[in-house]
């Protein structure tokens, strides 16, 4: 019967103020919870008691049904491949070595950082970033929505557990032109997530174009991610501490968590087979509200629903182009595990918006 119901019926609030998923979760009906989730039930909805189905769960077994599948091979909060780097270290030394591969805006900005007005230099860098992403997205398609639809269709088959939710979220994104739906689609456990990492420019342009609508979600605080690095990578981060003007750029969509245990578990896992590779615990410090670090958590005070399909992950999505400085590289002598401390370089929202408007004209 459930497959014959549309998503609107499955997610409607009953006379008691709760959705069917709330009720099944509250009373501990495991099979019904599973069926509802597989047929498009929205786990981020709140009932009249201001609670989500996850919060209403009768026990840990029911609560586990709302978590990302354990058999998933996509750990969003750690990177086990040293070749797939979400962070890129840029310095004047690297610019001199690879000048032809770096946009002119970067070169001007980095050479002048620490020498002239930092605000002026950051503007140059942000402008170069926006141009880079915007032009790259145009090379792929002049219709971002159509290209995203193609990626979705190719990566989420009709028999996938989250197919109905994925289609619903994409349709809502297109009809309402609200980036929140696209972000939530990104958090689903589908290959759409992985495909976006290969088409990062399109998603980046879409979300940058609506950054102002996400003001209430700009993140301030600390978040964490597990990384894999070679000895050479780590040595460069150590070098960066003592060389003014060296910045770190996030170069892809990067999931971080305010729950340090998520990343720390990875960093403290088994040693890697390659003796030149190391597990790293990375701390991202945002001393001011960052417009390119989006807090996906539910916020009752601001009346914001959870933007992630998995609220237990406490995700902060850090966008490509976010800039950091290296403040510390520490190694535990007893385990040889590394911790890298990165501090966000604050960029006012108007600088990003002005740069985006400029490339559109």
CATH number at residue 45: 1.25.40.20
pLDDT tens track for 287-300 = 999 999 999 999 99
Prediction pTM value: 0.87
Lowest mean pLDDT among 56-60, 186-190, 279-283, 331-335: 331-335
Same domain, 246 and 322: yes
Residue 82 pLDDT greater than 70, yes or no = no
Query: Domain for residue 53, yes or no?
Result: yes
Same domain, 233 and 186: no
Query: Domain for residue 89, yes or no?
Result: no
Cα distance between residue 328 and residue 341, in whole Å: 5
Same domain, 102 and 198: yes
* Structure-block tokens of residue 305: 């629903």
Same domain, 23 and 49: yes
Which range has the top average pLDDT, 84-93, 126-135, 307-316?
307-316
Q: How many CB atoms lie within 10 A of CB 181?
A: 19
Query: Domain for residue 341, yes or no?
Result: yes
Cα distance between residue 67 and residue 64, in whole Å: 5
Same domain, 202 and 229: no
Per-residue model confidence (pLDDT) at position 123: 76
Query: Domain for residue 77, yes or no?
Result: no
Query: Domain for residue 81, yes or no?
Result: no
- Residue 330: CB partners within 8 Å, gap ≥ 6? 338, 339, 340, 341
Cα distance between residue 130 and residue 136, in whole Å: 10
Counting the structural domains of the chain, the total is 3
* Structure-block tokens of residue 183: 């972000």
pLDDT tens track for 137-183 = 766 666 788 889 999 999 999 999 889 899 999 999 999 999 999 99
Same domain, 6 and 28: yes
- Residue 134: CB partners within 8 Å, gap ≥ 6? 201, 205, 356, 359, 360
Same domain, 155 and 187: yes
Mark which of 47, 64, 81 sits at the end of a domain.
Answer: 64
Mark which of 44, 64, 84 sits at the end of a domain.
Answer: 64
Query: Domain for residue 84, yes or no?
Result: no
Query: Domain for residue 16, yes or no?
Result: yes
pLDDT tens track for 123-142 = 777 877 787 777 777 666 66
Mark which of 18, 40, 64 sits at the end of a domain.
Answer: 64
Alpha carbon distances (Å) from 73 to 68, 76, 78, 178, 189: 11, 9, 11, 30, 10
Same domain, 107 and 192: yes
Q: How many CB atoms lie within 10 A of CB 93?
A: 16
Same domain, 38 and 115: no
Same domain, 195 and 227: no
Q: Are 215 and 324 in contact (CB under 8 A)?
A: no
Residue 267 pLDDT greater than 80, yes or no = no
Cα distance between residue 337 and residue 157, in whole Å: 40
Cα distance between residue 25 and residue 42, in whole Å: 12
Query: Domain for residue 143, yes or no?
Result: yes
DSSP string of 124-140, one letter each residue: HHHHHHHHHHHHHHHHH
Same domain, 167 and 45: no
Containing structural domain, residue 6: 2-64
Same domain, 336 and 289: yes
Confidence of residue 359 (pLDDT cuts 50, 70, 90): confident
Backbone angles phi, psi at 105, to 5 degrees: -60, -35
């Amino acid at each position: 019967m459930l497959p014959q119901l549309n998503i609107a019926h499955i997610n409607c609030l009953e006379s008691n103020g709760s959705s069917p998923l709330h009720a099944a979760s509250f009373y501990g009906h495991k099979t019904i919870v599973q069926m509802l989730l597989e047929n498009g039930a929205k786990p981020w909805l709140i009932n009249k008691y201001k609670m989500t189905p996850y919060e209403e769960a009768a026990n840990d077994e029911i609560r586990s049904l709302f978590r990302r599948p354990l058999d998933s091979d996509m750990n969003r909060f750690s990177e086990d491949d040293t070749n797939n780097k979400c962070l890129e270290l840029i310095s004047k030394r690297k610019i001199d070595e690879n000048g032809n591969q770096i946009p002119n805006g970067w070169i001007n900005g980095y050479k002048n950082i620490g020498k002239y007005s930092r605000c002026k230099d950051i503007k140059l860098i942000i402008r170069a970033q926006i141009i880079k992403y915007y032009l790259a997205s145009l090379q792929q398609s002049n219709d971002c929505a159509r290209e995203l639809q193609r990626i979705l269709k190719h990566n989420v088959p009709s028999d996938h557990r989250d197919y109905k939710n994925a289609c619903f979220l994409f349709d809502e994104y297109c009809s309402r032109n609200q980036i929140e739906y696209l972000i939530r689609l990104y958090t689903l456990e589908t290959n759409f997530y992985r495909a976006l990492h290969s088409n990062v420019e399109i998603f980046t342009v879409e979300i940058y174009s609506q950054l102002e609508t996400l003001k209430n979600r700009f993140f301030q605080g600390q978040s964490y991610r597990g990384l894999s690095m070679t000895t050479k990578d780590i040595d460069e981060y150590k070098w960066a501490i003592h060389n003014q003007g060296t910045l770190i750029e996030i170069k892809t969509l990067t999931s971080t968590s305010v729950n340090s245990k998520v990343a720390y578990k990875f960093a403290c896992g088994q040693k890697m087979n390659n003796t030149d590779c190391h597990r790293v615990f990375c701390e991202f410090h945002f001393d001011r509200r960052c417009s390119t670090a989006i807090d996906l958590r539910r916020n009752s005070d601001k009346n914001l629903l959870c933007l992630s399909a998995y609220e237990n992950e406490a995700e902060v999505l850090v966008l490509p182009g976010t800039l950091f400085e290296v403040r510390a590289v520490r190694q535990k002598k007893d385990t040889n595990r590394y911790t890298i401390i990165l501090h966000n370089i604050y960029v006012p929202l108007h600088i990003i918006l002005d740069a985006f408007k400029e490339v559109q004209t």
